[in-house]
Structure 1
């Protein structure tokens, strides 16, 4: 009986030794497969095929659940599909994975703005500017948000701040002349 046990252990270790390179190779391929699905999702979104883009992006997330970029992309797709609650959920998930993610914050702010959640949009845009002081879109979007509130002084301050980091920003120059 003892001899049978020893033989079983030897066979088990031999089997594990033989299979482990296959497992490692499979695990190493997953990020590449996830990246391919993500890139496919981006391409399909650009073509306007939202259903296929969503499917590819969900597959990317399945292969790499910690991909903030894939969750962000899924939020963009949901936004295009006019599903703002799903977009917010995806953007927040991306930000949970990567808190300093200017693009996800900026897109989240846009959804909040459209939903009429001005305070949340303002907070998200200010956070982007903290993270990336040269993120022109966030300055511009924040100034436009202040304009919607009819807070001309705040909008002017933000446009001027934008011009300090991007002196030839056409939108800021144009809106300051109005």
Structure 2
């Protein structure tokens, strides 16, 4: 096992000091290899040390201007800082440099979603969903973007897929309840709100939705 492999294993196990030691040794042995700086940057990002993480990613880019994962790391830093325009540029650069994985597409889509530019988020979240069909969070956020752009039929199928992946996903039930309301299927909406509340009793939106339906039914009696 190399220094990098062992360091990543330590990170997964939450042994951050041991991981830092291995990554430091790797940099000392191979100071011109950008991968070591990227891995140390990932560790620092995990430790919420954004300032130092950014320096390590920048060093990796100095050594290799095509280091796609370094740009992805920078994108994550700026996303957490809510600098969505800058984050967007970094995620796009990572994709342009060949990082054809779900994560950069997902995060690029999320920068638009957080900016409430729902239509712009769609192609990136769709691509992420294609690359990672079993990722619950990716699928759910794609469903939300579809719902926000009033593509309710497709959104419904995505949320149903989320429940196939995670039957305890209260937010998927809530959103299916909202879609059922748009379809004027009151009984189905109530079922989904009830299921959301069974999973998460403090789900305020589902609770409000259920209350509104019950009030409406009382008025129609």
Larger % of helix: which? 1
Q: Which residue of 2 aligns with 1:82?
A: 117
**Alpha-carbon distance in structure 1 between the residues aligned to 2:208 and 2:112:** 32
Q: Which residue of 1 aligns with 2:204?
A: 170
Cα RMSD (Å) of the superposition? 2.9
**Which consecutive aligned stretches of 4+ in structure 1 deviate over 6 angstroms post-superposition?**
none
Query: Are 1:160 and 2:172 matched, yes or no?
Result: no
* 1:30–1:64 Cα contact (<8 Å) kept: no
Q: Which residue of 2 aligns with 1:55?
A: 89
TM-score normalized by structure 2?
0.59
State the 1:52 CA deviation: 0.7
* 2:180–2:189 Cα contact (<8 Å) kept: yes
Q: Which has the higher contact order (CA 8 A, sep 6+)?
A: 1
**Alpha-carbon distance in structure 2 between the residues aligned to 1:40 and 1:89:** 22
**Alpha-carbon distance in structure 2 between the residues aligned to 1:93 and 1:149:** 28
* 1:50–1:81 Cα contact (<8 Å) kept: no
Q: Which residue of 2 aligns with 1:5?
A: none
Alpha-carbon distance change, 82 to 119 in structure 1, aligned in 2, over 3 angstroms: same
Secondary structure class of the residue paired with 1:58: helix
Gaps of 5+ in 2: 1-28, 43-56, 58-67, 213-221
Q: Which of 1 and 2 has greater Rg?
A: 1
**Alpha-carbon distance in structure 2 between the residues aligned to 1:162 and 1:71:** 29
Alpha-carbon distance change, 42 to 81 in structure 1, aligned in 2, over 3 angstroms: farther
Q: Which residue of 2 aligns with 1:151?
A: 185
* 1:71–1:90 Cα contact (<8 Å) kept: yes
State the 1:46 CA deviation: 4.8
Residue deviations 1:122-146, cap 9 Å, x none?
Answer: 0011111111122222111111122
Alpha-carbon distance change, 142 to 47 in structure 1, aligned in 2, over 3 angstroms: same
